[in-house]
Each structure stands twice: as C-alpha cells, then as structure tokens.
Structure 1
Amino acid sequence: MQKSGAEIVIECLKEQGVDTVFGFPGGAILNVYDELYKHSDEITHVLTSHEQGASHAADGYARATGKVGVCLATSGPGATNLVTGIATAYMDSVPMVAITCNVGVSLLGKDSFQEIDIAGITMPITKHNYIVKDVKDLATAIRKAFIIAKQGRPGPVLVDIPKDVTASKTDFKSGVVKTNKVERVLNEKSIDAALKMIRKSKAPYVFVGGGAIISEADQEIWEFVQKIDAPVCDTLMGKGAYPGNDKRYTGMLGMHGTKTANYGVSECDLLVVIGARFSDRVTGNAKKFARNAKILQIDIDEAEINKNVLVQGIIIGDIKEVLQKLNEKLEPQNHETWVNRILGYKQKYPLSYPTHGLTGPGIVEEIYKETKGEAIIVTEVGQHQMWASQFYAYTKPRTFLSSGGLGTMGYGLGASIGAKIGCPDKVVINVAGDGCFRMNMNEIATAVRYNVPIIQVVVNNHVLGMVRQWQDLFYGKRYSATVLNDQVDFVLLAEAMGAKGIRATTKQEFKKALKEALTFGKPVVIDCQIDSDEKVWPMVAPGAAIDEVFDETDMEKKE
C-alpha cells in the first residue's frame, strides 16, 4: 500500500506501541503533525511550551516507565532546542527517539531558511542518528532507531527527515526490521574469577549505579547483597535499585555522599561495582579511590571498563543476567564483624541538619513522610537535588529522576510532566531550586493545559545555591553573579499560568501546603523560602579523596 512519509512516521510509531509523544510544531514538520491530527485517538501529542521541555518530558516518561520516550521538533531552532535534552538522555543512558524534520532535500547545504545540520550537531550525543533522504528508507530508519535506543546500553537516537520526504509516497508494509543483534554469551571464566574474588574477601562493599535500574535487576541485587553479606551504597542514578530504608544501605557515595559510604568504600577489601561508571563526582581523586580494595566491575558496556578507574575483575553483560548467574553459584558468605563495623559508622555519622526553621532537608523529609516514600521524585540540579537524594529513602526503581551526568538545570519540570503522564497513578513531585525553576518554568503552562497534576516544590533561597556554596568555601565568599535579588514572585507566576500557587515560610506552612497539593488534583507550585547560606553536607573538596569528606562540624573543629 502506498503511503506518504508522514503517514509512515505515524504507522511506525504505532508499530512500536507509542501512545504519547511530546513536541512543538513548525513549518518543516507540518506534514507529520497533519497525520498526528488524524490519529489523535491513537497517539496523544503533548504540546510543550518549548522544545527543550519536550525532550525532557520524553526523557522523564522513559525513565519512569522503562519505555522509549519520543519527542518531535521542526527544523533549525526547533531541532537545536532539543539538543540539551538529547545530551541529558545520552549521559544518563535514557532510551529516546527524537524525530526532527528538515528543509527539503534540494535545499540541504544551502543555508536555507531554518536549515541546520542537526544530525551533525547531535552525532556526539546520540547512540546513532539518521538523515533520511529517500522515503523508501524511512520505515527502516525509524524501526532501527527504536531498536538501537533500547538495545544494550540505552540512549537517544535522532531521525531527521527532509520535508519533501514526508510528502513523498512509497510502498509500505507493516512489520519489523531485521537487525544484526549479537547475543552476548556470559564468559564463564569471568564469572568464576568473580566468585573467587568474592569468596576470598573479608570486607566486601556493593556499589550500585543506574545500570542496575535500566536492567531491572533490583530483585537480583537484593539476593546478591544477602548472599555476599555486605553493606551497600549507590550513585545518584542508582537510587531505588536497593531499598534506601534497609539496614545495609549506607547512602550515596562521593562528593556529597555519606561519611559511612565514603569511609566504608575506602576501607573495604573488595568493591563490587554494579552498573556504575566511576564518575568524577563519585571517585573524587581517582588515584586514591578504594585504594585498599580490589574492584570487580559488572557492566553491559565494555567501554566503561578501566576508563576512569583500573579494576581487577570484569564481567561484561546484562546486570540482571550476570547477577542471576552469580546468585546461582554463590553460597552465603559471613562478614558479620565487617558489616557491624559499617553499621557503627551509620550510627556515628548520621545525616543531620538544623531543625529550626524551614530548611531544604526538612522539606524533603516532610515530602517523604506525607507520600510514605511512594512518590516519583524528580529534581533539577543543585543543592535541592542533593537533599532530595539524601533525605528521601527510595525503595523502588524508577522513583528518582534526575540529570546526573550532564547536570541539566531546567530538566525536572518537563521530566515530571512526562513521568506523570507515563505513570498517572503515582504522585509526581519536582523539587527545584529557584535558579533551576527559572530555566523552564514556562512548562507550568503545559501542565495546566493538559491538567497534569504535578507538584512543583521550589526550594527558594534567592541564590544559585550550589555555586554560592563553592564560592563560600573555596572562593573567599566572593558571590559573583549568584545572588538572585530580583522581584520574581513564583506564587503570582503560577497563578498567572493557571496553576495553584502557595508560599511557605515555616515548617507548618509547608506541611499544610503539601497536604493541600496532594489532594488538589491540579498543578500546584509551592514556593518555599529558605536561608541563602544553607549548605549541602557532607562534602568532598575538589581533587580530594573521598575519605577526606567533611561537614560543618569538621570545619568548626578545624577553625
């Protein structure tokens, strides 16, 4: 049957089970949007306020559901506005397909109106991308894009389609595309070598990253931890892969990790790394990282092995499959003395914060209490992000969504809309700083337009908090361009866009506002006023080893 390129785009999306796309139309992509209109009963299009919001919404949808997120944009600035969201997805291994449309084939390379080489621009930040210049290749390109996006280590794929290709017709047949997928067989020698390392260890530690969530290996991790008899820490991206309320859980590792995790990893004799890539925010001084330990790394991506930290044991493969094999062969270990030592650290070095007044950690703890730990928490980037990772116990995968690799301010609001649309029965709360909220706060209008009842909590300290913290500690209190002393009123702003706005200046006011927001059934913005000098503790200074972690008490003692 003959179909136009635009019709093929829609048919391929339906083949892939896509029921929701996020985007913003323009001239070059009009043919696709015309077909979307005809299929609005099958595919819901969410019109965001900005293309970046569309890319973040597709990302949030993907992270919360495990499905491939889809975003659409037109040529030129429409396509370039997706770039930050594509890069965010790439850094955090999020499956996404971005479909852009370009000027006609005959106009390519001529600096035509709203022409941009989006395939060239996104080449370093996609798993793969296509520019489809012949309508006969279109179906195959889209089908392959979805396979590549979710196969192996997931990531974003871009498909760029010139406008005349969306209008051209060709024969179309429903079906699937054949791929040259290589079935990876686990190396039994590497499994046996890992088991030997584990059995020899007297003081093992388990370190869990985002790959564990992507692999949906939380049950296997639980069983492995019980068998190996070890404490557990995680990365920002690994939140929820192991229950944050379990006694073995010691918190996050790294720059703003707990003292327990940082000391424990520095003292262990075996570090089992599951789906983590040794980010500089985790390792601190890489030469001093886990210097007393042998490291066993389990990862699906061979490129991550020995990239940042040299390891002694390697298993390449899907984490779920690897752990099933290890659990099958591993007899229960006993490290009672070691585990009790780490549990002693947990008691000696608990996370704490001032209890007087409204504070960032207090806000997050109140959210945890009111949602009973069952919400999807989304964040922007900065101090509030760290507090959300420290003071909310994540017990399930896909309940903490944050830009970990790229650190994208403005990520959270769009991502929370995508997450809520993907998981309508879950409470979805975006925790933002006032600096981050400004980046894409126009997406409140999107939430209102579609009545997506997200809760936007703005931790408002009237400064760029994390940057100011560094200026305070390392730059002699020279607050260059970090004070937000303007007159923006987020409550009035929310009301202007049709949402409910509430201001909270005390713990009691925030508790009341949150209770109201949880039952309101419409988008709510809560503007929480906190002190400008509140800091994230503990902290590791840049270039220091992670066991040189310090907090406010340590600074006072030093002074």
Structure 2
Amino acid sequence: METLKEKLVETESKASIKISGAEAVIRCLLEEGVDLIYGYPGGAIMPVYDELYKFRDQLHHVLTRHEQGATHAAQGYARVSGRVGVAMATSGPGATNLVTGIADAQIDSTPMVCITGQVPRHLLGTDAFQETDIIGISTPVTKWSYQVTKAADIPTALAKAFYIARSGRPGPVLIDITKNAQFEEFDFSYKKCTGIRSYKPKPVMDPAKVEEAAALINSAKKPYIVFGQGVILGKAEEELKTLIEKAGIPAASTVLGLSALPTEHPLHMGMVGMHGNYGPNLLTNECDVLIAIGMRFDDRVTGDLNTYAKQARVIHFEIDPAEVDKNVKTDVAVLGDVKETLQHLLPLVKENKHEAWCREFEEKHAIEYDKVIKNDLFPAKEKLTMGEVIEKINKRTGGDAVIVSDVGQHQMIACRYAKFNQTKSNVTSGGLGTMGFALPAAIGAKMGSPDREVVAIIGDGGYQMTIQELGTIFQTRVPVKIVVLNNDFLGMVRQWQQLFFDKRYASTELVNPDFITIAKGYHIPAKRVTGREELDGAIDEMIASEEAYFLEVCVEKEDNVFPMIPTGASVSDCRLE
C-alpha cells in the first residue's frame, strides 16, 4: 500500500495528479502550510473529512463542541501565532453557526479561512435539506466569500482565500464547496496566489506625506500617539517603540493595541476608550498633534466625534484607505504598511523629550490611582474585586502570559490591569464584543503558542455561552487556565442599569450552576475561591498545574468599572465615580 510520505512526494514531483475535490482541499491546505484545523463534521462536508482522516498525520483536526467554538479557536490561534486560522463546518446550521466568529474576525482584522460544505450543485436553490445561502449571509462580514461548484476550481479558490485573508488588512474569507465538487476528480496542481488584479492590499506609500507627518511631529509642543492592533498586525512594534523613545512622545493603546508596547514602558500611558485611563482620555482634547497609528477611531475610543480632538492636527498611519477620514478628519494621512511607513518616518523625526507634557499624564494618573486603581487592586472592602485577581495573576506570571478575555466588566478590568511584556499577549473580542469568545479562543491561543502560559479571564455570563468547549479541552488535553470571575450578574449590563436606568436590574441577575462540579465532570481540576486569604494559594496552584485548570473566584456582586465615558459623551467627560 502506498504510504502517506510516498503520496506527498508524488504530489511534489508531478505537475499534476488526478484526485478528488475533497482530497484537493486537504492538499491545498498543506501547500499553504496549514497544520491545524478547528471544525465539526456533517453530511455536506463529509467527503473532505474522509480525506482528512487519511492525512491525519500531517493535518491535525480539533473537534470543537460547536461551530462557533471552531471560529473563535481559529481566531485565538491566528492572533497569537500570526498565521491564518482555519475552521471547517457542514452546510446549513453548521455554516450559519460560523457567522458570529466570522463577523468577529472581520471587525478585529483576524486572518481566517472558513471552509463549508454545501448541497450538490443540482440542488442549489431548491431548499434542499440543510441548504442555506451562506454566501449571501456571509458576504457582509468577510473580506471575500466564494462558492465552488466544480472540483477544478478548488485550488484557485483556496489559493486566493489564503492570500486575501493574510494580506493587507487581514480578515476572514469563506469558501463554500458543493458536495458534487468534493466527489469529482480532476488533474490537481497548486500554485500559491501572489496577487489579484482587482485587489490592492497594500497602498503605495507617498514619501511626501511621511515628510509632512514628520514636520508636524517635530513642531508639536504636546504630541500624543494612540496606537492600535495595526502595529501588531504590521509587525511594527520595534518601530513604534523607537519612535516613542526618540521623540519623547507619550503613547496610549486601544484595547486591541495592548501588548504592542510593554505595559511598563515609561512612555506607555495606558489605554484609551470608554473604560480607558483617565489621563489618556482627557488629554486627547489637549494635545496639539494626535498621531494615530494602526487604529480606526472606533466610537468606543472617540466618544462624541463633535468634541474629539478638535484642537489637534491629526496624523493617521493606516493601511486601509476606507478608515481614513471615516470618523475623524485627518490633516495628514500616511497610507501604507505601518512597518514601512514608520521606518521612513524615523530618520526624519528629531530627538525630543516633552517632559512637561508627560508630567500632565502622570498627574492625571495620580488622580485616577487615588480614586479608582487603589480601590480596585488593594481594596479595603470585604469581598474580592476583579482587579485584585488580575493583579495576583500578574505577579504569578510576571506579565509573560497570554491573557484571553471575554466581554464585559471582567474584560475591561483585565485590559486595564493585566501586564504585557511581549507582543501578541492580549486576545479579546474588540469590535463585535462577542460573549462566549474567550473559552474557545484560549484553546486556539494555547495551540498557537504552546510554550506560553494562556489564562482565560471570563465572566459567569459569557462562560455559559460556550461552556461546552470544556469538552474540547478534555479531549485535546490542551492545558489552558480558566478563571471565571463570578458576580452572579451580567455585570456590564447591570452597571449600565444602575447608572442610567435607576437600578432596574431587568434580566441581568444570574442563578448559576455549580461550576466546580461541571468542570470536574469534564475531568478538569477545579477550585472555588470565596475569600481573600485563599486567592494567592489558588492562583499558585492553577499556574503550577501542567494540565488544564478551572478557578472560580466569587467577587463583589455590584462593583462597577471606572473610569467610564457614557455612551455618546465627550472623552473629556471621563468619570471616575
């Protein structure tokens, strides 16, 4: 019998071989360097799974417990590894269950290729069993969606899919393959895609715009950098750090930009946004030059656009032309790959310090520390706070862990207080705000970076949205650490109800199950912490564990996250209490 190794050698030595469309899918993935897929089988994708079984020594498949879990796991894998995540599902409900993760990946610029099975070509449009127009559904939330109805089109479609997903501003692509195309045989050959005539992923840099930006930066008295995930995606962390240090410019991060610059860097002033730091928010409206690098001026960052940085000249370093002037009018737009544009900028920027301006950030930080941070991290109250849990995790991991957070109060606390020493360390759902993201994303993150500690920070509400992925953890033995901060509420919604709806807690209080029993049912070691005296030992035990571990920490039920900018308010209206 022909061995797998001989089969692969034959593929490489011949220009083409006659194989089925299903086998072609697997060979295309191998050609793209894929070694890991997350998915869930079903009737319309079964031929591909049959071929996957034959290639299982080369291409590892992780069976998640829900298709949404497959997409979030692929996202986590992509975010920490820098590679394209891959998810696969069957037609109908299998395909539609991918959509939330696809939409999340689109708005957070995560490279992902999703492959779905589809009913045979002759049944398209007949409302056949498990037929859904996944192309029509997914088109608004993908970079590209395409339906393959002939086996011969599979290599070209998948080559384009990977090129589009990873190039320029990354994002998700969906390829839908009819069942007849999976069975058909054709002469297979593969050529990687290196360009598409109608698709220009990287704008050509204009040196004159870089010079204009440098002139503005050099003349500024109060320059201010806000950087986003584009720095990480563009692998421009070192260029950002060099710019900040050379010009002495205070810098703050968006939620997704966290870890592009080490948290403890003296010019890293914190995080902007609705629950960002006091100084970075307020001083946005006092800087004279605002330098946006790899960020898109999301509404959670800007607040009221009518009052956002109106006094400042705005420079925007961006790879996606659609983001320029979309929300904030720029004075100088520097289009292009951020690593390339910053490299051209650096020699033109003069050395400076801006010490007095930096002290303004420090003064605002001192106010925030006295009113908020001290009470979050070192509380006098009897009940545990979310902030002190994150602080204990910081001390135990030394700021070297990958922190994967879900969505809600715990997310904002984690983003505010987690320490990041290295890039690609903060994995969270930013633009879509998808509850249930963290547990499956942590699985993918650990598989994408197996040598790093991965800690998932989750609320009791979001945890129950994808709790079934404990089964995936049990089956794969992936050693993720899971921390549920349990306040028996949908905490962020409850906070808004308290502040803006006269404490009418409509449908936000949770009656929770016994999370410890559930974890043990999946053979995952587990512990519950209810008192401060137990916390250190429990975290030590969790981090020391060489297998997956579940830690439930019961925290103050009605704590709020501050600072807070109310929806639609100015960044100057950043409330500390």
**Contact residue 448 and residue 522 of structure 1 kept, 8 A:** no
1:92 corresponds to which residue? 108
Q: Which residue of 2 aligns with 1:555?
A: none
Q: 2:273, 2:406 → 1: CA distance?
A: 19
Tell me which residue corresponds to 1:549: 574
How many angstroms does 1:487 deviate by? 4.5
Q: Is the 8 A contact 1:129 1:157 kept in 2?
A: yes
Decide which of 320, 335, 343 is 2:354's aligned counterpart: 335
1:255 alignment counterpart = 274
Find the aligned partners of 2:361 and 2:545 in 1 and give their Cα distance: 43
Deviation at 1:337, TM superposition (A): 1.8
CA contact (8 A) 2:118 2:131 kept: yes
Deviation string 1:410-447 (CA, Å, 9 cap, x unpaired) is 00100000010111111111100000000001101101
Equivalent pair of 1:417/1:447 in contact (CA under 8 Å) = yes
Q: For 1:480, what is the secondary structure of its paired residue? A: coil
Q: State the distance in 2 between where 1:130 and 1:355 align.
A: 57
Confirm or deny: 8 A CA contact 2:436 2:465 kept in the other structure. Answer: yes
- Alignment check: 8 A CA contact 1:444 1:523 kept: no
Alignment of 1:263-342 (within 5 A): 263-342=282-361
Give 3-state SS (helix, strand or coil) of 1:543's partner: coil
Task: Tell me the secondary structure at the aligned position of residue 406 of structure 1.
Answer: coil
Q: Does 1:363 align with 2:382?
A: no
Determine if the alignment matches structure 1 residue 423 to structure 2 residue 439. no
CA distance in 2, matches of 1:413, 1:302: 34
1:341 to partner: Cα distance: 2.5
How far does residue 89 in structure 1 lie from its aligned partner after superposition?
A: 0.3
Alignment of 1:145-164 (within 5 A): 145-164=161-180
Tell me which of 119, 135, 138 is aligned to 1:122: 138
* Count of residues in correspondence between the two structures: 551
Residue 175 of structure 1 corresponds to: 191
Aligned to 1:382: 408
What is the CA–CA distance in structure 1 between the aligned matches of 2:572 and 2:106, rounded to whole Å?
30
Q: Kindly state the Cα deviation for residue 519 of structure 1 after the two structures are TM-superposed.
A: 1.9
Distance (whole Å) between structure 1 residues aligned to residue 59 and residue 264 of structure 2: 39
Check 1:545–1:97 CA distance in 2 against 1; reply closer, same or farther (3 A cut).
same
Among 236, 240, 253, which residue is 1:217 paired with?
Answer: 236
2:558 corresponds to which residue? 533
- How has the CA–CA distance of structure 1 residues 93 and 178 changed in structure 2, closer, same or farther, with 3 Å as cutoff? closer
Q: Does 1:45 align with 2:61?
A: yes
CA distance in 1, matches of 2:323, 2:194: 28
String of CA shifts for 1:50-75, please: whole Å, max 9, x gaps.
10000000000000100000000001
For 1:490 and 1:22, the matched residues in 2 are separated by 26
Q: Tell me the distance in 2 between the aligned counterparts of 1:331 and 1:3.
A: 61
Separation in structure 2 between the aligned mates of residue 427 and residue 168 of structure 1, nearest angstrom? 45
Q: Which residue of 1 aligns with 2:208?
A: 189
* Matched-pair contact (CA < 8 Å) for 2:76–2:427: yes
Give the equivalent residue in structure 2 for 1:2. Answer: 18
Asked if 1 retains the 8 angstrom alpha-carbon contact of 2:270 and 2:277, the reply is yes
Segment drifting more, 307-316 vs 20-29: 307-316
Instruction: Please list, as runs of the form range in 1=range in 2, the aligned pairs for 1:430-469 lying within 5 A after superposition.
Output: 430-469=456-495
**1:75, 1:101 within 8 Å by CA — same for their partners in 2?**
yes
Report if aligned partners of 1:384, 1:433 keep a CA contact under 8 Å in 2. Answer: yes
Contact 1:255 1:539 in 2 (8 A): yes
Q: Provide the rounded CA distance (Å) in 1 between the counterparts of 2:422 and 2:345.
A: 22
Instruction: State the match for 2:521 in structure 1.
Output: 496
Report if the CA contact (8 A) 2:368-2:576 is conserved: no
Cα distance in 1 for residues equivalent to 2:548 and 2:89? 25
Give the alignment's TM-score, normalised by structure 2.
0.94
Q: Distance in 1 between matches of 2:195 and 2:312?
A: 41
Contact kept in structure 2, 1:445 and 1:498, CA below 8 Å = no
State the distance in 2 between where 1:305 and 1:234 align: 18
Taking the aligned partners of 1:336 and 1:538, their CA distance within structure 2 comes to: 25
Q: Is the 8 A contact 1:252 1:258 kept in 2?
A: yes
Q: Secondary structure at the match of 1:442?
A: helix
C-alpha contact (below 8 Å) 1:10/1:36 kept by paired residues:
yes
1:263-284, Cα deviation, whole Å (9 max, x unpaired): 2212110110001111111111
CA distance in 2, matches of 1:250, 1:313: 24
Letter in 2 for 1:216: K
In 2, Cα distance between the equivalents of 1:507 and 1:34? 52
Q: Distance in 2 between matches of 1:340 and 1:273?
A: 21
Work out whether residues 355 and 362 of structure 1, in 8 Å CA contact, stay in contact via their aligned partners in 2.
no
Distance in 2 (CA, whole Å) between partners of 1:233 and 1:329 is: 22
What TM-score, normalized to structure 1?
Answer: 0.97
- Rounded to whole Å, the distance in 1 between the matches of 2:497 and 2:513 is 24
- Specify the code of the residue in structure 2 equivalent to 1:319: V
Which amino acid in structure 1 is aligned with residue 567 of structure 2? P
Paired with 1:513 and 1:256, the residues of 2 have a C-alpha distance of: 28
Question: Aligned partners of 2:417, 2:291: CA distance in 1, in Å?
Answer: 25
Correspondence for 2:150: 134
1 CA distance for matches of 2:415 and 2:236? 20
Q: Which deviates more from structure 2 when the two are superposed, residues 382-391 or residues 246-255?
A: 246-255
Give the Å deviation of 1:193. Answer: 0.9
Assess if the C-alpha contact under 8 Å between 2:248 and 2:351 holds in 1.
yes
Distance in 2 separating the partners of 1:284 and 1:236: 15
Partner Cα separation in structure 1 for residue 240 and residue 362 of structure 2: 19
Which letter does structure 2 place at the counterpart of 1:430?
A: A
Counterpart residue identity of residue 274, structure 1: I
- Which residue in the other structure is 1:105 paired with? 121
> What is the percent sequence identity of the aligned residues?
43
CA distance in structure 1 between the partners assigned to 2:494 and 2:360 by the alignment: 36
Q: Whole-Å Cα distance in 2 between the matches of residues 144 and 28 of structure 1?
A: 22
Structure 2 unaligned regions, length at least 5: 1-16
Amino acid of the structure 1 residue aligned with 2:565: V
Segments of 5+ residues of structure 1 without an aligned counterpart are 553-559
1:501-526 deviation per Cα after TM superposition (whole angstroms, max 9, x unaligned): 21011223222122111122222111
Separation in structure 2 between the aligned mates of residue 377 and residue 178 of structure 1, nearest angstrom: 34
Q: C-alpha separation between the residues in 1 aligned to 2:355 and 2:106?
A: 40
Is the counterpart of residue 392 in structure 1 residue 418 in structure 2?
yes
- CA displacement at 1:128 relative to structure 2: 0.3
* Cα contact 2:105–2:172 (8 A) shared by 1: yes
Query: Match for 1:111: what amino acid?
Result: D
Aligned to 2:88: 72
CA offsets 1:314-363 (integer angstroms, 9 cap, x no match): 10011111111101222212422212222232233323323443110011
Question: 38, 43, 66: which one pairs with 1:27?
Answer: 43
Structure 1 CA distance for aligned equivalents of residues 341 and 291 of structure 2: 13
Instruction: Report the 3-state secondary structure (helix = DSSP H, G, I; strand = E; otherwise coil) of the residue aligned with 2:464.
Output: helix
Q: Whole-Å Cα distance in 2 between the matches of residues 326 and 67 of structure 1? A: 28
